[in-house]
A and B are shown apart, each in its own frame.
Chain A
Amino acid sequence: AQKVTQAQTEISVVEKEDVTLDCVYETRDTTYYLFWYKQPPSGELVFLIRRNSFDEQNEISGRYSWNFQKSTSSFNFTITASQVVDSAVYFCAPHAGGTSYGKLTFGQGTILTVHP
């Protein structure tokens, strides 16, 4: 079974600050995917990134960057120069393999509030 821990329940920053959201996961699968989703106040989940466990190269997309460390089972997400529109709940989710293929296990989420 998959398990994911997002230790930061809530984070509050001032606009333009950098912020890192932590994600630590547990899995017995040898190959797997990891996802980050954003849930703004409107409620819909917005896909941010998918990472294959074979690919440990860090990724940057605009103000977003992800640090995948397979050795420590972490997949942290950094927002650079945060903006008010970044305020949302962010979920990290590993993707199961085997007989549970395709299921996402969501963490508790981190509520990010960016103040002007």
Chain B
Amino acid sequence: GAVVSQHPSRVICKSGTSVKIECRSLDFQATTMFWYRQFPKKSLMLMATSNEGSKATYEQGVEKDKFLINHASLTLSTLTVTSAHPEDSSFYICSARGRYQETQYFGPGTRLLVL
């Protein structure tokens, strides 16, 4: 149980385009989803927390207009990187947690490369 998927696993795009990453909980209802960013050989940095049906809460320094997060259902959250630039290239990982659960289960991550 507790499987989280992400799609796509890898994406290459041109500078200026927008990229949407999907995060799905496959076998449980995810009332809360988290989005992280990880640079090579670095730790995970929390970008935002989203509760189903509510607006996402962004961490300090994360541009909400740049990284649009939607959590419209109990099994799906999306992260859209708008007008992507090379500095947005990174590994993006989502996690999901069920109601009254403490453990976050992570997706396999999405590697974004902006040319």
Contacts and interface: CB of A to CB of B under 8 A. Distances in A.
Interface of A: 33, 35, 37, 42-47, 50, 91, 95, 102-104, 106-109, 111
B43 A91 contact: yes
Residue in A42, A47, A95 with the greatest tally of chain B CB atoms within 10 Å: A47
A103 B49 contact: yes
Given A37-B106, A45-B93, A104-B104, 13 more contacts: A33-B102, A35-B103, A35-B104, A43-B93, A44-B106, A44-B107, A47-B103, A47-B104, A47-B106, A91-B43, A102-B32, A103-B49, A104-B44
Residue in B2, B32, B34, B104 with the greatest tally of chain A CB atoms within 10 Å: B104
Residue in B2, B44, B46, B109 with the greatest tally of chain A CB atoms within 10 Å: B44
Contacts of A95: 102
Contacts of A33: 102
A43 B102 CA distance: 22
Interface of B: 2, 32, 34, 41-44, 46, 49, 91, 93, 95, 97, 102-109, 111
B106 A45 contact: yes
Nearest to A9: B41
A46 B84 CA distance: 29
Nearest to B2: A47
Contact of B105 (A43, A47, A107, A108): A47
Contacts of A50: 102-103
A106 B93 CA distance: 13
Contacts of B93: 43-45
13 contacts: A35-B103, A43-B109, A44-B109, A45-B93, A46-B106, A47-B2, A47-B103, A47-B104, A102-B49, A103-B49, A104-B34, A104-B104, A106-B43
Given A43-B108, A47-B105, A104 B91 contact: no
B44 A91 contact: yes
A47 B97 CA distance: 12
